[in-house]
Homo-oligomer: A and B are copies of this chain.
Amino acid sequence: MSVVVDFSLEQMSRARVSLLTTFLDRYFEDRKEMLPHHRRLQESLRYSLLQEGSKRFRPVLAMLTAEALGHASERVLPLAAAVECIHTYSLIHDDLPAMDDDDMRRGKPTNHKVYGEATAILAGDALLTEAFQIIADQCSWEPAIAIRLVSEVARAAGLHGMVGGQAIDMGSKKESITLDELRIMHRMKTGALIRVSGVGAAIYCRASEEKLAQISVFADNLGLAFQVSDDLLDYDPEKPEPGSYPALLGVEKTREFLNELTNTCLAALRDWPASADPLRAIARYNRDREL
């Protein structure tokens, strides 16, 4: 089923994904003059970052937000690239033997399976660092906006955002997690970076504080809605995944919850013009994909 999702999002965003890929490919271009082990690190980073089969959900959300606000996708490319670097680093580190110990991702061997653990750890570290370099260098013409973006992205990715959420996820006994803890974990682990993709794009486009608040509600609830809908798609009544929404709430109440989240998304953009229709379409598409 997840193939259907990939396909449809891809359809919607092919041109935007191609803009992003070109940007990242150029930024991390092969440099022949590097020492061999330096080049190998660069190669491993490119392996994960430029892999086909990535949905590029966060960058596409950033670009669609810019378009909804009347700007070109290109405007928010540095933010989109930075957020994708951070997402990719988190996958490389999460796949490590000490973490989730995954051998395959997107149908290919994980980074450490190809390049070894040491290089995979360093590739993740490099991607996280370069994310901030990209924002700082590519937006330096507008320092006040750039520094706000650095702050927002770091908050979303750091101790009280993605990394903290990953620690909660790794450490929790899924059997005994409460609904509140599950929501906190998801908001931190995946929600925060999704939220900053929308909010950061709006900051970039000098949106009003009102619009910022609206896209924040939209992206925040969309992130959670994606998680809930993933849980529904993965749901197996014979073997319910402990610590998933259907296991905690039952299928009916989980569907209701997904509807509520989607309605909150749509309500947040109520006053946005037709240029926000692709954002609305994502929220509706996510709600209906498991039906």
List the interface of chain A (C-beta within 8 A of B): 28, 34-38, 40-42, 45, 89, 93, 96, 98-99, 116-119, 121-122, 124-126, 128-130, 132-133, 135-137, 139-140, 143-144, 146-148, 150-151, 154-155, 157-160, 163-164, 166-168, 170-172, 181, 184-185, 188
Contacts and interface: CB of A to CB of B under 8 A. Distances in A.
A124 B126 contact: no
B151 A133 contact: yes
A142 B168 CA distance: 35
A38 B124 contact: no
Contact of A146 (B45, B143, B188): B143
Contacts of A146: 143, 147, 150
Nearest to A45: B159
Contacts of A117: 98
A129 B128 contact: yes
A150 B167 contact: no
Contacts of A181: 35
How many identical subunits does the complex contain? Answer: 2
Which 9 residue pairs are nearest across A and B when measured between Cβ atoms?
A: A37-B171, A98-B117, A129-B158, A133-B154, A136-B151, A143-B143, A41-B167, A136-B150, A126-B159
A140 B155 CA distance: 14
24 contacts: A28-B159, A34-B164, A36-B171, A37-B171, A38-B164, A41-B167, A89-B125, A98-B116, A119-B167, A119-B170, A122-B163, A122-B166, A126-B164, A128-B128, A129-B154, A129-B157, A130-B154, A132-B154, A133-B154, A136-B148, A139-B147, A143-B143, A143-B144, A150-B150
Contacts of A136: 147-148, 150-151, 154
Contacts of A118: 98-99, 170
B170 A37 contact: yes
Contacts of A41: 159, 163-164, 167
Contacts of A133: 150-151, 154-155, 158
A154 B137 CA distance: 10
Contacts of A121: 93, 96, 98-99, 121
Given A98-B117, A98-B121, A118-B170, 14 more contacts: A93-B122, A93-B125, A119-B167, A122-B163, A125-B163, A126-B159, A126-B164, A128-B128, A129-B157, A129-B163, A133-B158, A143-B147, A147-B147, A150-B150
